[in-house]
Amino acid sequence: MTEPTSQERTHTPASTSERITTEQVAKVAKLARLRLTEEELTRFTGQLGDVLEHAADLDLLDLEGVEPMAQPIPLANVFRKDVPGPILDRDEVLAVAPAAEDGFFRVPPVLGESE
Amino acid sequence: MSSAIDIAASVQSGERSALEVVEEHLGAIAERESEVHAFNLVTTDHAIAAASAVDELVAKGGPLGPLAGVPVAIKDNLCTRGVATTCSSKILEGWVPPYDATVVTRLAAAGAIMVGKTNMDEFAMGSSTENSAFGPTRNPHDLSRVPGGSSGGSAAAVAAGFAPISLGSDTGGSIRQPAALCGVVGVKPTYGTVSRLGLIAFGSSLDQVGPFANSVAEAALVCEVIGGHDPGDSTSLPQAFPAVSEHLSDGVAGMRIGLITEMMGEGIAPDVAKRIRAAAEWLAAAGAEVEEVSVPAVTFGLSAYYLVAPAEASSNLSRYDGVRYGLRVEAPTTGEMMELTRTAGFGDEVKRRIMLGTYALSAGYYDAFYGTALKVRTLIRRDFDKAYERFDALLSPTSPTTAFSFGDKTADPMSMYLNDVCTIATNLAGHPAMSVPYGLGDDGMPVGAQVLAPALGEVAMFRVAAVLEGSLA
């Protein structure tokens, strides 16, 4: 994933009432490493817009001073004891990988990507 | 077909062999699976080998677990060592997990025998099992209708008699809604009471594994077998699953039960609402104090969920990139390989949710969408907490309608998402809830009553469920 440019970072805060555009969906698809056809881009933009439009009802709520809840249980900083235990068998893991070589996952060249 | 409890008793006593039980169920599968399509894979050889192993134990005099010889169907997003696990997605094609999910290990240790991996909406995203890359599952009560989803295969497997019990996963209703539509019992336990190790992640702060069964007692037993602390899951609570089985005949006399106002009005089919009112009346007749209660923030649950769950999914599903497992579409560079692999491997609904989540988390939009949704989650939790100051358990429909027909809601994702309107708030709060069959709608299809309880309130929840079940006996 590419880092957002400074211009993107200083984006004006969005409102949930703005309708998502095809340009935004195209950008999101690229960030998510998905390639969309023109037909998909149009269709997904409409469908995502509908969901976000429904979500605009959240703007009605007064959320001043409300703490966010990222997960439901009061556990925090759960550590295991630092002792060796059973781990996955490397050969078994690599045997179901798309490509492997010398104990590693093998991938095509990383450099030379055209963005 | 006998219940899991009867099967285990007869296998333990030597009255029946596990092999005989398994062959009977494989026979039922052979007879109807081609029209129901509950399974992505029927694990015949595995089942016969496992049944023979149980029978050897019986011959040796044990020890035998509480589910000895009981066939079980496993949702295909739970890892099974040496047995293909697909999440009903093309992107996991050819992948065979190198380990078992903790719940799978615990079922096997209890003597249960896996008969197959069940069909589902791809990556558990959907409410009809129509999003499976391998074709939909059909509702055993009416093959022209959906079984619900995402655990549609697991619900249908129990409803069709392919297995007396099955496992599903519930992120926004994916156990309870198909249970309601297929007329079986389905339980979503308190977040953290059942291990998620080996459950392929969708929305990690929402996902929970739970059982399907034909009765409340069987579902209770399965919860006790699969539940309890697992050091391999850092979100697993350090305690045993609440001892529900021993309270199933406690009744509801003196219990306070609230009927959720927001889930009885607009958007709920009148025939479904009528059945739930009948359930409330039955509970009152059984000695409970039943009143309507407003839980206002639940009406915002759907909006919050469709920001939180896709946000978590977009992060969890970034691992499917053609490098370590499953599908790879070859390309000259790694970047192109990843893009082509994900484009070819994911279906439309998964792509929509990944994009929605990526958008909700992206620079400039994070606070407006994801941040807002997390605050709404707090409001939902608060409103439930307030209701539980006055009530031991709550009651609502599980699904706003009975099972709908194929294709009814596939063109408009928002109409599909509305199926989860009664179930979603539970996941956002991390609470338990279960669906119990409660008669039929005007179309003759099953209606499910949803019983909700506060975190770790499973005993109260199962007591209410057992009384509802008893009214139909």
Q: Which of A7, A11, A23, A28 to mutate against chain B (most B CBs within 10 Å)?
A: A28
Residue B87 banded pLDDT, cuts 50, 70, 90: very high
**What pLDDT, on the 0 to 100 scale, is given for residue A113?**
53
- Judged against a pLDDT cut of 50, whether residue B122 lies above it is answered with yes
Contact A73 B351 (CB under 8 A): no
Average pLDDT, chain B: 97
**What pLDDT, on the 0 to 100 scale, is given for residue B151?**
98
**What pLDDT, on the 0 to 100 scale, is given for residue B473?**
58
Mean pLDDT within B435-446: 98
Q: Which residue of B has its CA nearest to A46?
A: B412
CB of B359 less than 8 A from some CB of A: yes
DSSP B84-116: ---TT-GGGTT---SS--HHHHHHHHTT-EEEE
Enumerate residues 85 to 114 of chain B having a beta carbon within 8 A of any beta carbon in chain A: 94-96, 98-99
Percent of chain B with pLDDT over 90: 96
Question: What is the per-residue pLDDT across B258-306, written as a single tens digit (0 to 9) for each?
Answer: 999 999 999 999 999 999 999 999 999 999 999 999 999 999 999 999 9
Contact A33 B342 (CB under 8 A): yes
Mean pLDDT within B109-135: 98
What letters, b where the CB count within 10 A reaches 16 and e where it falls short, cover B162-193? bbbbbbbbbbbbbbbbbbbbbbbbbbbbbbbb
> Do residues B159 and B151 touch, judged by C-beta distance below 8 A?
no
Contact A63 B376 (CB under 8 A): yes
Least-confidence region, from B120-124, B224-228, B363-367: B363-367
Strands A100-101 and A104-105, sheet pairing: antiparallel
**What pLDDT, on the 0 to 100 scale, is given for residue A81?**
86
Q: How far off is chain A from B32, nearest CA to CA, in Å?
A: 32
Active site residue B174: yes
The burial class, CB within 10 Å (0-12 / 13-18 / 19+), for B303 is buried
Residue A6 banded pLDDT, cuts 50, 70, 90: very low
* Rounded-to-integer distance, Cα A72 and Cα B72, Å: 30
Q: How far off is chain A from B303, nearest CA to CA, in Å?
A: 4
Contact A48 B352 (CB under 8 A): yes
Q: Which domain holds residue A35?
A: 1-60
Mean pLDDT within B136-159: 98
Active site residue B150: yes
**What pLDDT, on the 0 to 100 scale, is given for residue A10?**
36
Q: How many domains does chain A have?
A: 1
Instruction: Tell me whether 0.90 is exceeded by the ipTM.
Output: yes
- Quick check: is A101 in a domain? no
Q: Which of B89, B127, B128, B174 is catalytic?
A: B174
Q: Which residue of B has its CA nearest to A1?
A: B335
Arch. (CATH architecture) of B4-234: Alpha-Beta Complex (3.90)
Residue A86 banded pLDDT, cuts 50, 70, 90: confident
- Quick check: is A12 in a domain? yes
Q: How far off is chain B from A49, nearest CA to CA, in Å?
A: 10
Question: What is the per-residue pLDDT across A24-38, written as a single tens digit (0 to 9) for each?
Answer: 999 999 999 999 999
* Rounded-to-integer distance, Cα B463 and Cα B251, Å: 6
- Judged against a pLDDT cut of 50, whether residue B361 lies above it is answered with yes
- Quick check: is A106 in a domain? no
Percent of chain B with pLDDT over 70: 100
Question: What is the per-residue pLDDT across B67-81, written as a single tens digit (0 to 9) for each?
Answer: 999 999 999 999 999
**What pLDDT, on the 0 to 100 scale, is given for residue A73?**
86
- Quick check: is A92 in a domain? no
Residue A111 banded pLDDT, cuts 50, 70, 90: confident
Quick one: which of B419, B374, B392, B455 has its CA closest to B180?
A: B419
- Quick check: is A6 in a domain? yes
CB of A19 less than 8 A from some CB of B: no
* Rounded-to-integer distance, Cα B127 and Cα B138, Å: 13
**What pLDDT, on the 0 to 100 scale, is given for residue A78?**
86
Contact A55 B355 (CB under 8 A): no
**What pLDDT, on the 0 to 100 scale, is given for residue B33?**
98
Least-confidence region, from A5-14, A79-88, B158-167, B201-210: A5-14
Q: Which residues of B touch A32 (CB under 8 A)?
A: 314, 318, 342, 354-355, 358
Q: Which of B75, B90, B117, B409 is catalytic?
A: B75
- Judged against a pLDDT cut of 60, whether residue A16 lies above it is answered with no
**What pLDDT, on the 0 to 100 scale, is given for residue B319?**
97
Average pLDDT, chain A: 84
Choose among B205, B334, B417: nearest Cβ to A109: B334
Q: In chain A, where do the E strands start and end? A: 100-101, 104-105
- Quick check: is A115 in a domain? no
